[in-house]
Structure 1
Amino acid sequence: MDEHWKRAKGVFAAVGGPPTFWLLAFFLIPLAIIWTYSFGENTDLVHIAINGTFSNYGHALNPLYLGIIVKSFWFAALTTLLCLVIGFPVAIAITFASEKTKAWLLLLIMLPFWTNLLIRTYALMAVLRTEGYINFTLAFFWNHLSQLTALAGHPLAPFHPLELLHNNFAVVFGLVYVQLPFMVLPLYAALDRLDRSLLEASLDLGAGQFTTFRRVVIPLATPGIISGIIVTLIPSIGAYLTPDLLGGPESMMIANVIERQFKTANNWPFGSALSFMLMYMTFVAIAVQAIVSRGRKKAEAA
């Protein structure tokens, strides 16, 4: 028996060893180094003295940086809400589609993952810019409408392109565009396991479609909703590329500030402190969500 267990431990070590080493060498140890830097100070352009100071965290509490952090959470929360509102009907449509149609719809949802995020963002810039496809289409219809109204003696004013790029709208639009599949897939996974006889029973008992959706579908889809919120909210908070390319000076998020501390300002200790401030806040948000979910489950069990 002992020999069998020893052989089994050898198999476990052989299978689990490389992933454990990879996790330690390329994630946990670098993360620990950055965490250590957050308690240090620059002595010159190259060296950092680790002296246990909390000045970097105190500097991170400056209203300027706190405002950017709050803005990042606001953008992420708004993005998550929009993804939920848009993604829930999409997930329901996929769930109740035929098997053949369902496969094609899932393919369309996952298709963006086959293209690099940078390429997708530049494509979105081509859509949103002043001479982009949206403004071109609006100008086309506006000019034709102007010609028709001119015949009636009431010409329209010249078309002015909409400012859709390098502002807060572009950042939120881009984040929704990027994060929407991460909301749809968990929702679909939860709805696909839905017992449809419960829906039929609810309708047969006199509940309307809206009541059935509110009292049956949403509670049963709660695990998917929670998973979708988590996997959408957290990457949105730390988004860097989307606000960097689509946003303007007033649309900077905390990840952009962190990047500038490491690359431009050469202030690694402060950049490290900002990084872990963001991580601490994310952990607190997840913990609060877990406590609320646990309390809801206990209330339902009671």
Structure 2
Amino acid sequence: MTTAALKEKRRQGRWNALLLAPSGLWYLMLLILPLIVILVYSVGERAPTGGYQAGFTFDNYLNIGARWTAFKNTLLLAPTGTLICLLAGYPLAYFLAVKANPRTRLFLLILVVVPFWTSFLIRTYAWMFILGGRGLPHLLELIGIEGVRFINTPFAVLVGIVYAYLPLMVFPIFVSLEKLDKRLLEASDDLGASPFATFRQITLPLSAPGMITGCMLVFILLMGEYLIPQMLGGGKVFFIGNALVDLFLQSLNWPFGSACAMALVFIMMVTVGLYLKATRATGGRDVSLM
């Protein structure tokens, strides 16, 4: 490489570094440094009056089992909610991308987005009424079915999860399906393949990146969910997010709360690693919206 080419390469590198500096500083201040603070807190001790006291111990990590119920609920209901969103969202995304009339597709997409126009809190309150004693259980009583209880149960939490996060599953799958070359479907049909075989061998594999991305978007957000379990679970079905709020704001046990938070971060790192591996396995056709 000539001297002029080396100089040009260095100059381009300096310009790239300068352009990346603002976002890099933002990333450092809002993500890396807070994580370092939480990590330091997690090996500290609880002060006598609450909060953080300097120290070095791994007892907080050894005591994570004390919050096993919160971890169990999260690790059970978050994947379950993600799976339900996938099963409900894929047919809807398929209809919008493949079957819907192009002239009405935009209107249908707007209908999917409409719930986001309303406050998340208000929508959750609406489900509290629907699933509460004066909602669906009352209607069931009118037709002779008594003793049915929805609110403050895992079922209520799952309903709130699917309602709130279904659009986040639909859009990545829709983007993936919309990019699908329709000529492949026509060729499969011309060669005599059944609709199911065409879907299984062409549509489903090529839409896998959208499915993976949608699952990641929903699952990561659900792992930190607080409001839905708090309102629809009524304190009986709580996630790690609810446990962290209790540890930081009620018990004032910041070191133990930090250890639980770092455990959650570790789970997320493993999940993202699996996501990247799965994305590479699908040929790198990433349709991530993040």
**TM-score normalized by structure 1?**
0.83
SS in 2 for 1:250: coil
2:41 equivalent in structure 1: 37
> Contact (CA 8 Å) 2:172, 2:211: kept in 1 or not?
yes
SS of the aligned residue for 1:160 comes to coil
Amino acid at match of 2:91: P
Q: Deviation digits for residues 174-203 of structure 1, max 9, x if unmatched? A: 111111111000000000000111111112
SS at match of 1:227: helix
Matches within 5 A, 1:22-171: 22-45=26-49, 48-60=52-64, 62=65, 64-96=66-98, 97-132=100-135, 134-139=136-141, 142=143, 158-160=144-146, 162-171=148-157
Aligned residue identity for 1:219: P
Superposition deviation, residue 86 in structure 1: 0.4
- 2:215 corresponds in structure 1 to 229
> How many pairs were matched up?
278
Match of 2:243 in 1: 257
Equivalence for 2:179? 193
- 1:6 deviates by 5.9
- 1:181 alignment partner AA: P
Deviations 1:200-223 (A, max 9, x none): 111222211111111111000011
Aligned counterparts of 2:230 and 2:125: Cα–Cα separation in 1 = 11
Q: CA deviation at 1:95?
A: 0.6
Q: Which amino acid aligns with 1:77?
A: P
CA gap of 1:111–1:296, structure 2 versus 1, over 3 A, is closer
Task: In structure 2, give the amino acid aligned to 1:38.
Answer: S
Q: Does the 8 A contact of 2:208 with 2:282 survive in 1?
A: no
| TM-score normalised by structure 2 residue count | 0.86
What whole-Å deviation, never above 9, does each CA across 1:130-162 have from its counterpart, x for those lacking one? 102x3455455x2xxxxxxxxxxxxxxx44263
**Within-5 A mapping of 1:264-275:** 264-275=250-261
Partner Cα separation in structure 2 for residue 271 and residue 135 of structure 1: 37
Residues 293, 8 of structure 1: CA spacing in aligned structure 2 closer, same or farther, 3 A cutoff? closer
Instruction: Please report how far the alpha carbon of residue 22 of structure 1 lies from its aligned counterpart in structure 2 after TM superposition.
Output: 3.0
Aligned letter for 1:78?
T
Q: Is the 8 A contact 2:93 2:171 kept in 1?
A: yes
Counting aligned pairs with the same residue, the percent is 35
CA separation of 1:11/1:162 partners in 2, compared to 1, >3 Å: closer, same or farther?
Answer: same
| Structure label with greater radius of gyration | 1
**For the residues of structure 2 that align with 1:95 and 1:117, how far apart are their CA atoms?**
27
In the TM superposition, what is the alpha-carbon distance from 1:48 to its structure 2 partner? 2.2
Aligned-partner residue type, residue 123 of structure 2: R
Structure 2: runs of 5+ lacking an equivalent: 285-290
Is this contact kept in 2: 1:75–1:237, CA < 8 A? no
Q: 1:169–1:261: structure 2 CA closer, same or farther, 3 Å change rule?
A: same
- Judge conservation of contact 2:50–2:253 (CA < 8 Å) in 1: no
The equivalent position to 2:161 in structure 1, one of 148, 162, 175, is 175
Separation in 2, partners of 1:272, 1:196: 50
8 Å contact kept, 1:83–1:180: yes
